[in-house]
Amino acid sequence: MPFIVPIVVLVIGALGLTLYLSTKAAQDSYQLSSLRQENQALVDKRDNLKRTADSGDSAPELADKAAKLGMVPGIGAHLVVGPDGKARLRGELKPADGNRPGSLNPKPDPVKQIDASKVDDSGGLGGNPAPSEQAPSEQAPTASAPPRAVRPRTPRPPRRAL
């Protein structure tokens, strides 16, 4: 009897430890999943901010900002950096005059601005057939090409055994 008590205590302790470790692993798994989702949201936010910042430095955006400030493209003089590293003026300086250039940014895609719920002919978009369509079993058979004339086969004589 004294030998059985320590073994029972050891088995109960092992079961308790197994229960504790599996519970802890499940809890850590939920925390890890939550942290991964949070990390993905932060990565998406960072990428979106980087894309926004990069688009602000693009040539079309800079041209639009310059046009809003009343700037127009200059004609004539420009600076050229020589092989010695010094800048030299080429051309003659004169005040710029002229019209503002048009925007270099493309217009937004008009198809993306369509609200499918407000369009009458969008019945087929949600997986439902449009009212004018028939079910495949109700469609009339289409005319196919006329069948080719088939030449009857002539029977072959039986083969002889050698």
pLDDT digits (tens, 9 = 90+) for 28-48: 999 999 999 999 999 999 999
Q: Which residues pair with 78 in a beta bridge?
A: 90
Would residue 122 count as lying in a domain?
no
Token code pair at residue 151: 């030449």
- Helix (H) or strand (E) holding 50, with range, is helix 4-56
E strand residue ranges, 6-141: 78-81, 87-90
* Distance, CA of 71 to CA of 101 (rounded, Å): 10
Q: What total of structural domains would you count in the chain?
A: 1
Would residue 138 count as lying in a domain?
no
Residue ranges making up the domain that contains 77: 1-95
Angle at 61 between CA 107 and CA 113, to 5 degrees: 25
Place of tokens 């002229």: 98
Would residue 43 count as lying in a domain?
yes
Would residue 26 count as lying in a domain?
yes
Would residue 15 count as lying in a domain?
yes
How much is the pTM?
Answer: 0.38
Would residue 34 count as lying in a domain?
yes
Residue-wise pLDDT tens digits, 108-139: 777 777 777 777 665 555 555 555 544 455 55
Would residue 139 count as lying in a domain?
no
* Distance, CA of 82 to CA of 88 (rounded, Å): 7
Q: Which residues pair with 89 in a beta bridge?
A: 79
Would residue 63 count as lying in a domain?
yes
